[in-house]
Amino acid sequence: MKNKSLGVALVALTLLSATVLFVGCKKEQAATDPAATETTQAPAPEFAEVPLDENGIPYISEEFGSEDIYYAPKGEATLTINQIPDSDNSECLISNRGTNNSGIYVPVDDFRCNTINVATSVKSMNANILLSLQYDIYGNTTYVTIAQCAPSAISYTRVGGEIQIPNNATNISVYIEAGDVKDITVDYIRVSVVGDYIDPATVPVEELMDVSDYPSLSELYSDYFRFGVAIPTTIVPNENEEFRNLVSHEFNSITLENEMKPENILDGETCLADPATYNESPALDFSSLTETLDWAQENGIGVRGHCLIWYSQTPSWLFYENYDVTGELASRELMMTRMENYIKGVFDWAQENYPGLFYSWDVVNEAIGDNGGLRDCYWLQTIGDDYVQLAFQYAREYADPSIELAYNDYNEYQPSKMEDILEMLAPVAEAGNIDVMGMQSHMTAGLSVDSYVEAMNTYADELGVSIMITELDIGAPNSANPLYDQGVYYQEFFEGLIAAVDAGTPIESVTVWGISDDTSWRSNTTPLLFSGNLAMKSAFEGVVCAITGDELTIPDDYVVVEADYSPIYEDYENGEFIGFTRYSSVIEVVSDNPYEGESCLCNSEGTATYDGYCIDVSRFAGTSIHYSFAIRCDTDTCYFTADIENEWPHIEEIDTSSGEWILVEGDYDVPANLTYLQLYFESIDMTEFYLDNLSIMVIEEGAEEAELTEETEETAETAETSEQGT
């Protein structure tokens, strides 16, 4: 139940709101942009001390009704606490949001070193809401998505997830943001510790490593491709020089991870203050970039521009008549003019101030939707289907010929996405306006390197472009030796790239998406080459070994795994299960009409059909298994599906239209030679479903069993580390 002392909170929030309205600082600019420091900052709110639960562990439950306040507006936003009609409860309305990442934050420094569970419930007209974590790593700000949902505007949608806060993090907060600047209403924000609590006071922040003796990737790979890294603008002014040293020592290319995206370059304040003057040619502000670009130039480091035209991190006001989001969307003609002038403005500035520094630019980013076809977005809605072609046409017109123009996307190696990308880019290639396919490559260890190389060759051949791997990060597997196994895969992957270049694949650059695991947007999958204090990981050594031919060091604490064919059986009677949610569904043991006994498992609240209940059976590789289970669902069809290294064959299509329990059983030959296999249950339209009496047992051990089991155990995979959607 929420606290009812609403009066005090309202007074506090009215004060807060009134001040916040005047704050106009942009996300990453506060530290470096002199203009930002001149704006009137809201006074730091008085946060209440985080309460402890009965075991002395910090626990925040912000319900917006108490005088103890654990939240504050993030960026430009107004927070108003309203009582929910006919209820004792209250909710927080976030309005006047200046940018997509403006919203509300809750400081969580008391939870450093711990895995936390963060849960909230939101209503909004925004197409998606993100629950994110922000922290500094030795002065470098990092943003990590914890969970996201497609909310309803009229009823609350719950969104939550778990995240590990790095030991070396400081200034830690969780916050709510959205894909657009529309209002968000929040019912509550809760933060709790998962597992045993580690008192942050007992874990000091580590010393940064001296990186000067590390082997240099850009030198080692100089005959093959440029070696790049994505960085924030905070590393140049940072008092810790180790980050700068590492970047200039290891890499000869940088991409600014966020700061060259439209929302950071478009000058909203100027455009909105004088829409008539800037109606056709939006005002631009590059002041937050110069320090980093000057440094890159002084150090002979090339830059990839990222990115010009994107559905995300582009303010919605850009798409409206008079930049007024309460009015009409702008016409096709006006948006074509704004697009052309934006692209021209960015290239003119780059060429005037940094001639020769940029060697490539992502002209269009992520135009294909997760369900195929062109992604619905403001560019599509205002200009129409040819917006991608127009963007490349303008880019070709205004970019210096030395800047190679790229299309950039994720899941780009998956066959169906490839088809869509190739179809979309065919006319662009025909017109001679594209030079590069940007393969983001947010991957998981286990993806077939051969099919990845095949994808690169297909793009190169069909579009006549070269390849840049633009955002590489490879999540560590959930195995007995995750970091070593990740190193093995990094080595395999780079050996594949080297062989591909030798065979003629035109790979021009490879960029890793971040410096260290702690600064990665996917930090909980530890996907990068260096750990938080910049120590070399097996992943780094794997990349080095791929080119030197050396053997990866087996760590002292390497765990040898015995073959394990013990059967799986779950009747949920004791409340336990070994499986886990794929992405964001909620799994719980319930007593709602079980098949047998008192309990069964319920999977609900998925936001995509593949948000299901998942069991890792990697240890059964190369065997035949027998499965049986009872399933019940109020929709027509459920699937029992295999997730095998980025293929998702349905093992069973189950007719659940009766709404009654259906008993399913069968045999399945688990492929050998795979690095991971998960079996999962899903309903065709995200309707909640129930499972009971689930059994999986090996009926015939494979010939290659001993060798493969060991290999497979080492590289078993989790759904967590999978890339964005399937």
Please report, as ranges, the residues that interact with ligand 9MR according to CB under 6 A.
Answer: 143, 257-258, 312-313, 365, 410, 440, 471, 521
**What residue type is 508 in one-letter code?**
E
User: CB of 257 within 8 A of CB of 137?
Assistant: no
Q: Which of 390, 394, 393, 262 is nearest to 332 (CA)?
A: 390
CA distance 514 to 511: 9
Q: Which residues contact 239 (CB under 8 A, 6 or more apart)?
A: 139
CB of 496 to ligand 9MR, least distance (A): 22
CB of 27 to ligand 9MR, least distance (A): 9
Strand-pair partners of 507:
467
User: CB of 551 within 8 A of CB of 491?
Assistant: no
Q: Which of 382, 369, 402, 365 is nearest to 257 (CA)?
A: 365
E-strand ranges in 202-286 read 226-231, 253-256
CB of 394 to ligand 9MR, least distance (A): 21
CB of 179 to ligand 9MR, least distance (A): 9
CA distance 175 to 104: 6
User: CB of 675 within 8 A of CB of 446?
Assistant: yes
Residue nearest ligand 9MR by beta-carbon distance? 521
Q: Which of 238, 239, 357 is nearest to 303 (CA)?
A: 357
Q: Which CB sits closer to ligand 9MR, 514 or 622?
A: 514
CB of 432 to ligand 9MR, least distance (A): 26
Q: Which CB sits closer to ligand 9MR, 105 or 410?
A: 410
91 included as an active-site residue: no
Is the bond preceding 113 in cis, omega lying within 30 degrees of 0?
A: no
DSSP letter (8 states) at residue 320: B
User: CB of 707 within 8 A of CB of 701?
Assistant: no
Q: Which residues contact 515 (CB under 8 A, 6 or more apart)?
A: 140, 229, 231, 235, 243, 246, 247, 528, 530, 534
366 included as an active-site residue: yes
CB of 140 to ligand 9MR, least distance (A): 11
CB of 333 to ligand 9MR, least distance (A): 29
**What residue type is 239 in one-letter code?**
E
CB of 142 to ligand 9MR, least distance (A): 7
**What residue type is 401 in one-letter code?**
P
Q: Give Cα separations from 11 to 62, 81, 89, 258, 499 (angstroms).
A: 17, 10, 17, 36, 66
Q: Which CB sits closer to ligand 9MR, 529 or 587?
A: 529
Dmax (CA) for the chain in angstroms is 75
Q: Which two tokens stand for residue 155?
A: 């009823």
E-strand ranges in 283-347 read 302-310
CB of 262 to ligand 9MR, least distance (A): 11
User: CB of 444 within 8 A of CB of 721?
Assistant: yes
CB of 259 to ligand 9MR, least distance (A): 10
Chain centroid to Cα 2, Å, comes to 33
Q: Give Cα separations from 164 to 161, 488, 616 (angstroms).
A: 10, 24, 22
Q: Which CB sits closer to ligand 9MR, 90 or 726?
A: 726
Secondary structure element (H or E) that encloses residue 391, with its range: helix 387-398
CB neighbour class for 676 (10 Å; exposed up to 12, middle 13-18, buried from 19): buried
Q: Which residues contact 59 (CB under 8 A, 6 or more apart)?
A: 50, 51, 52, 53, 190, 191, 192, 193
Q: Which CB sits closer to ligand 9MR, 65 or 161?
A: 161
Q: Give Cα separations from 208 to 144, 533, 554 (angstroms).
A: 22, 5, 24
3-state secondary structure 391-426: HHHHHHHHCCCCCEEEEEECCCCCHHHHHHHHHHHH
**What residue type is 308 in one-letter code?**
L
Catalytic residue among 28, 404, 471, 508: 471
Q: Which CB sits closer to ligand 9MR, 140 or 641?
A: 140
CB of 145 to ligand 9MR, least distance (A): 7
Q: Which CB sits closer to ligand 9MR, 312 or 604?
A: 312
CA distance 436 to 506: 10
User: CB of 246 within 8 A of CB of 530?
Assistant: yes
SS3 575: coil
Catalytic residue among 63, 257, 340, 366: 366
CB of 312 to ligand 9MR, least distance (A): 5
Q: Which residues contact 204 (CB under 8 A, 6 or more apart)?
A: none
Q: Which two tokens stand for residue 236?
A: 């140049």
Mind telling me the catalytic residues?
Answer: 366, 471
